[in-house]
Amino acid sequence: MRWYWIDRFVEFVRSRRCVAVKNVTLAEEHLHAHFPGHPLMPNTLVIEGVAQAGGLLVADHRQYQGNMILAKVPKAVFYFDPRPGDTLYYECRLESIRGEGAVVEATVRCGERVQGEVDIFFADAAHGPRARALFTDLDLVTMMHYLGAYEVGEDADGSPLRPPQHLQDRLSTLWLGGPGSE
């Protein structure tokens, strides 16, 4: 099992909102255990998808500094369970943000129906008595790239979304045909 719970960004507006897609497929091994004979996506993994999409929205706002991680889920409500063949859309809105933490509120849709509503509270793992360095700014920007954020994303003024210059430079040495090579 890889730890990717979103597949692609279809919208990304810096510091405001993003929409990410998650395809549910029988190729995911855990569905065969959850449950045998009746595969259903666990709603805890829907929460993780929101945390990943929303977490990147928060990270991008902070220019990929710090390690904002899932600290609290004040509320997560689910109306039904996603099944193989479903495509989920996680619409995440950045509601509050400051140095110590951030709040993202999300609506999860499957077709026309609302599948869930999830609020996530992020806190910075890089500070405080139990501080840890979990991932780097380059890790975050690489994930944004994999998920197509820089293909669809825009800045607040409508210009194309780009990572900070110093990270762009390091990225283009990692992949061929990355944004730095345009």
Contact positions vs other proteins (CB under 8 A):
1-4, 29-31, 33-38, 40, 42-45, 47-48, 51, 69-78, 81, 95-96, 98-101, 103, 121, 123, 130, 132-136, 139
Minimum distance of other proteins from residue 108's CB (angstroms)? 13
The CB-of-9 to other proteins minimum distance in angstroms stands at 18
Distance of CA 27 to the CA centre of its chain: 21
**Shortest CB 153 distance to other proteins, Å:** 22
- Residue 38 bears catalytic tag: no
Q: Which one, 50 or 161, has the nearer CB to other proteins? A: 50
Structural tokens at position 35: 């449950």
Contact 9, 53 (CB under 8 A): yes
Catalytic member of 32, 34, 61, 127: 34
Identify which of residues 103 and 152 has a Cβ nearer to other proteins in the complex: 103
Question: Closer to other proteins at the Cβ: 34 or 162?
Answer: 34
Structure tokens at 93: 């809105």
List CB contacts of 51: < 8 A, sequence separation 6 or more: 5, 70, 120
In angstroms, what is the C-alpha Rg of the chain?
A: 17
Least distance to other proteins from the beta carbon of 121, Å?
A: 5
Paired residues of 18 in beta bridges: 12, 92
Cβ closest to other proteins, residue 33 vs residue 176: 33
- The residues near 53 (Cβ < 8 Å, ≥ 6 apart) are 6, 9, 18, 19, 20, 90, 92, 106
Angstrom distances, CA of residue 32 to CA of 80, 85, 98: 18, 14, 41
Residues with active-site annotation:
34
